[in-house]
Structure 1
């Protein structure tokens, strides 16, 4: 039907100065969101929404895992240096720690303003296995079959969210 199912406003703004003096100040033009958003998707899947730089902040994904999320989306536009160093590792880590599927479409290529983004869209299963990946920064399409029963099976293998101690400090 094309109806909007939910709205998510990115919580963590990309306000950084990278090595070499390259500066980004996303908060100068974008207002940060204040809440995590779950939406019901196909097959009644619980989908947690996030965007780009949110990927670096585990508490958002911990909250989604505790809420029983089955799929997390992370559309992104990583810079080339950070994409090369961190993109796949972080996407797989989020899948493993939430024990949910991660769908991570990624903008890639050279842009009119001269910046370049990493690309390399990915779909990862709850065990951290890459199901589909674009190995370049050019336009493309990826797809994967998501067996939502795998989410419950993964959580049964390692029920990490049943444990974990609260702590103080440092």
Structure 2
């Protein structure tokens, strides 16, 4: 839990390579006997949540996206098709309320399921138990329970809400 080191490492991430790695991982999972084809979700925290949401915008056959206090790729939201669960810190100094509001407006306009949960008294990284300065055990437990229920609903159960696009528009 060293925020300064994390910031240094985040600056070195090559987004295009990361998106390709995520796509490769999803494709790998699709060919495993224990995975039903295209019953894949993305889940991420903070920067991982931001990249996960961007990946969900690019890989249209995802079944769900779960984001813990990640930035919202506002310019890409029109391509997002899978249900989104967004966990928002009430006192987030990194992600603005305007970003979250934009997410809600864009997904509502596109008729994409979007659940937003704001956790009272929490700051960015409230789920990170290696950061005692921000960790909130009760909020983290509630967020995790909601995450499991959301994934159960959209991954384990049949769900007609995912709108697949033609092969020509899918990430390869």
Q: Looking at both structures, which has the greater relative contact order when contacts are Cα pairs under 8 Å and sequence separation is at least 6?
A: 2
Q: Same fold judged by TM-score > 0.5?
A: no
Report the structure, 1 or 2, having the larger helix content.
2
Q: Which has the larger radius of gyration?
A: 1
Name the TM-score class by shorter chain: 0.3 to 0.5
Please give the TM-score of this superposition, normalised by the length of structure 2.
Answer: 0.40
Report the structure, 1 or 2, having the larger strand content.
1
